[in-house]
Structure 1
Amino acid sequence: MISIFKVFNPLNVLWLAILIFVLRIGYVAEAPDKLQFIFVEPFARLLIPASYEYAFSPVANVFLAGVIVLGQALLLNYLVNYYNLLGRSTFLPALMYVTLTALFTPFMTLSAPLICNFLVIWMLFKLFSFYKSDDAKSTAYDLGMIVAAGSIIYLPYIYLFLSIWIALIIFKPVNWREWISGILGYATVFFFFAVFYYLNNKLGSFYHIWAPLGTKFPNSINIKYYNYLVLVPVLLILVLYFFKLQQNYYKSYVQVRKSFQLLFAIFLIGAGSFYVKTQFNINHFLLCAVPAAVFFSYYFITANVKWMYESLYLLLLISIIYFQFNTF
């Protein structure tokens, strides 16, 4: 399958749709009677007064999530090819994204982190543009507004604001006006949000929006480790990716090297911000799927031993499907 997606062929969109169906059919068969979908944070519920949490049946919920994943996969694929991060045009980023968004059953349903991945991809388009821009103030302002919008949908997204400053450090000389522009963009959205609170006589509780950011990082998390054995092939591919990147790092263009540094920073920020939500939800780590898909693609595009990389991807697929039916 990897060999098919290494080639940039529009017919691969059909194969992606088939793969999305195959990876989710097992979950649909075992899905609960109701699936909750929360689109915005509780503090933004005033914006959507109607009840929508159970508006979709389980089948419709998973179907719509699959359509969203396909759209995001194609956008990510366009992003990677546009900035030539892999050295040639390919459909591997789309394949890897579709695969990673099926790792766990909570990944397969509609959720706020899944919606936020549109914003992650949108941010990457703008962040990568820093490299060739003479003046990034307007772009940084736009990015601040995107982060603010993401925070309304899913509060831990606020930490991706750090990616704006990290990108400015990586791609450009220090310019304090560009750093401030991101803050102004974020403040603009929440200024209008404060006005909305004021008009609804809720201004006194406005500052409570950011209270969860004071949550202490947990000392331990109670999880069933057997449910996460599917991560074994994932970790193996990540190790192989870092090995391949180390081999080819200085052979790549400067922009490509800097882009991978930024992607790694976004991966760490996404992974580390899970503790903001009082209840641990594995679907938070969908925020890591975009950079991880690029990492996986880099390994598979540079791997030379066909039987090895094809077997490794097949192992990952089998693990995903197996753990859909076995939760121990």
Structure 2
Amino acid sequence: MIKIFKAYNPVNVLWLAVLLFVLRIGYTVHVPDKLEFTFVESFARLLIPIAYEYVFTPALNMMLAGILVLAQAVLLNYLVNHFNLLSKPSFLPALMYVTLTALFTPFMVLSAPLICNFLVIWMLFKLFSFYKSEDAKSTAYDLGMIVAVGSLIYFPFIFLFLAIWIALLIFKPFNWREWISCILGYITVFFFLAVLYYLNGRLGRFYDIWAPLGSKFPNSIHIRYLDYLVLIPVIIIIGLYFVKLQQNFLKSYVHVRKSFQLLFVMFLITGLSFYIKSVFNINHFLLCAVPAAVFCSYYFINATTKWFYESLYLLLLISIIYLQFNTF
């Protein structure tokens, strides 16, 4: 399987579609009668004043989610190849993204984090372009607006604002105008939301939007550990990625090194930002799938022992499918 996707062959898009269907076939057996889809946060419902949560049947919901995942996989693959992050073109980023977005059943349906992954990929295109841009003020402004739109859809997305400033530190010398530009971009979107609140006589409640930012990071999370056994192969792959990255780090181009530093920062930010949601939901970690897919791809593109890396990926596939049918 890995050998097929190491080649940059457009036919692999068809194999991706087949794999996407296979990885989700187990969930169709246990799919609920109703699947809720919340497109925006409650404070942004004024933007969409209609009931839409249950407008899609479970089958249509899963089909649309699969289409979005496939589109995101192709976009991510283009991003990685465009910036030459893996040193040679392949379809491994798309393969790993399709695989990682099937780790848990909540990943397989329409959700706000899934929608936001389009914004994550869009942000990465702009963030990686900082390296060669002389004046990044307009790009920083656009990024601020992207984060604001993402916050309307899924509020923890607000923490990716930090990724803009960290990217400016990594890729460019300090310029306070660029740092201010992204703030102005963010304010622009929420200014129009404030106007909408004012016109509806709810301006006093506008300030409640930011209340979750004061939430304390939880000391513990109540989860069923058996449900997360599927993460064992992923942890092994990412661990091997760090080994390979350390071996090749100084051999890589400066832009590639800086890009992987930024991806790691975004992985941490997206992973740790779950706590401001009052109810813990595993689908939050879909936001981690984009950088994680690049990490896994880096390992597989540099792995040399075929029987080992093919077996490791096969173990991951079997784990995903098996745990869909066995919920313990």
What is the TM-score with the length of structure 1 in the denominator? 1.00
For 1:189-200, what aligned pairs fall within 5 Å after superposition? Answer: 189-200=189-200
* Runs of 4+ deviating beyond 3 Å: none
Partner of 1:312: 312
Counterpart CA distance in 1 for 2:106 and 2:276 is 18
Partner of 1:157: 157
Partner of 1:129: 129
For 1:268-279, what aligned pairs fall within 5 Å after superposition? Answer: 268-279=268-279
Partner of 1:105: 105
Counterpart CA distance in 2 for 1:51 and 1:301 is 46
SS for the counterpart of 2:218 is coil
Deviation at 1:268, TM superposition (A): 0.1
Partner of 2:280: 280
For 1:3-18, what aligned pairs fall within 5 Å after superposition? Answer: 3-18=3-18
For 1:1-328, what aligned pairs fall within 5 Å after superposition? Answer: 1-328=1-328
Counterpart CA distance in 2 for 1:112 and 1:6 is 31
SS for the counterpart of 1:184 is helix
What is the TM-score with the length of structure 2 in the denominator? 1.00
Give unpaired runs (5+ residues) of structure 1.
none
| 1:181-236 deviation per Cα after TM superposition (whole angstroms, max 9, x unaligned) | 01000000001110111111111100001111111100100000010000000100
SS for the counterpart of 2:76 is helix
Structural RMSD (CA): 0.5
Deviation at 1:20, TM superposition (A): 0.6
Counterpart CA distance in 2 for 1:207 and 1:198 is 12
Counterpart CA distance in 2 for 1:48 and 1:193 is 12
Aligned letter for 1:57?
T
Counterpart CA distance in 2 for 1:37 and 1:28 is 17
SS for the counterpart of 2:26 is helix
| 1:42-84 deviation per Cα after TM superposition (whole angstroms, max 9, x unaligned) | 0011111111000111111111000000000000000000000
Counterpart CA distance in 1 for 2:212 and 2:313 is 38
Counterpart CA distance in 1 for 2:27 and 2:178 is 46
| 1:254-304 deviation per Cα after TM superposition (whole angstroms, max 9, x unaligned) | 000000000000000000000010100000000000000000000000000
Deviation at 1:326, TM superposition (A): 1.4
Counterpart CA distance in 2 for 1:326 and 1:207 is 45
Counterpart CA distance in 1 for 2:126 and 2:268 is 19
Deviation at 1:29, TM superposition (A): 1.7
Counterpart CA distance in 2 for 1:270 and 1:50 is 30
SS for the counterpart of 1:273 is helix
Deviation at 1:36, TM superposition (A): 0.4
Counterpart CA distance in 2 for 1:44 and 1:191 is 13
Counterpart CA distance in 2 for 1:83 and 1:195 is 40
Counterpart CA distance in 1 for 2:230 and 2:196 is 45
Aligned letter for 2:302?
T
Quick one: percent identity of the two aligned structures? 77
Counterpart CA distance in 2 for 1:101 and 1:137 is 34
Counterpart CA distance in 1 for 2:246 and 2:182 is 32
| 1:155-174 deviation per Cα after TM superposition (whole angstroms, max 9, x unaligned) | 00000000000000000000
Counterpart CA distance in 1 for 2:232 and 2:80 is 26
Q: How many residues align?
A: 328
Give unpaired runs (5+ residues) of structure 2.
none
Deviation at 1:28, TM superposition (A): 1.1
Counterpart CA distance in 1 for 2:183 and 2:327 is 43
Counterpart CA distance in 1 for 2:213 and 2:59 is 35
Counterpart CA distance in 2 for 1:188 and 1:44 is 15
| 1:285-326 deviation per Cα after TM superposition (whole angstroms, max 9, x unaligned) | 000000000000000000000000000000000000011111
- When structure 1 is superposed on structure 2, of 41-50 and 294-303 the one drifting more is 41-50
Deviation at 1:34, TM superposition (A): 0.4
